[in-house]
Amino acid sequence: MKGSIAVIGAGSWGTALAIVLAPRFESVSLWAHETDLVERMASTRINDVFLPGFPIPANVEPTADMAHALHDAEIVLGVMPSRFARGLYQAMLARMSEVARQVISQKFMPRIAVLSGPTFAREVARGEPTALVISSSEPALAASIQLEFSGPAFRLYTNDDPVGVEIGAALKNIIAIGAGICQGLGLGNNTLAALITRGLAEISRLAVALGGNPATLSGLAGLGDLVLTCTGELSRNRSVGVELAKGRTLAEIVGSMQMIAEGVETTSAAVELARKHNVDLPIASQMHAILSGRRSPRDAIRELMERSLKHE
3-state DSSP assignment of residue 141 = helix
Exposed e or buried b per residue across 235-256, where buried means at least 16 C-beta atoms within 10 angstroms of its C-beta:
bbbbbbbbbbbeeeebeebeee
Burial grade of 141 (CB within 10 A; 0-12, 13-18, 19 or more): middle
Report the catalytic residues: 172
**DSSP string of 48-112?**
TTTEEEEEPPTTEEEES-HHHHHTT-SEEEE-S-GGGHHHHH--TTS-HHHHHHHHHTTT-----
Do 45 and 69 contact (CB within 8 A), yes or no? no
Q: Which amino acid is at 64?
A: A
Query: Residues near 102 by Cβ (< 8 Å), separated by ≥ 6?
Result: 89, 94
**DSSP string of 273-302?**
HHHHTT---HHHHHHHHHHTTSS-HHHHHH
Query: Residues near 290 by Cβ (< 8 Å), separated by ≥ 6?
Result: 177, 181, 244, 296, 297, 300
Q: Which amino acid is at 108?
A: F
Q: Where does residue 245 fall: left (phi above 0), alpha (psi -120 to 50 degrees), or beta otherwise?
A: alpha
Do 31 and 88 contact (CB within 8 A), yes or no? no
User: CA-to-CA distance for 306 and 3, rounded, in angstroms?
Assistant: 57
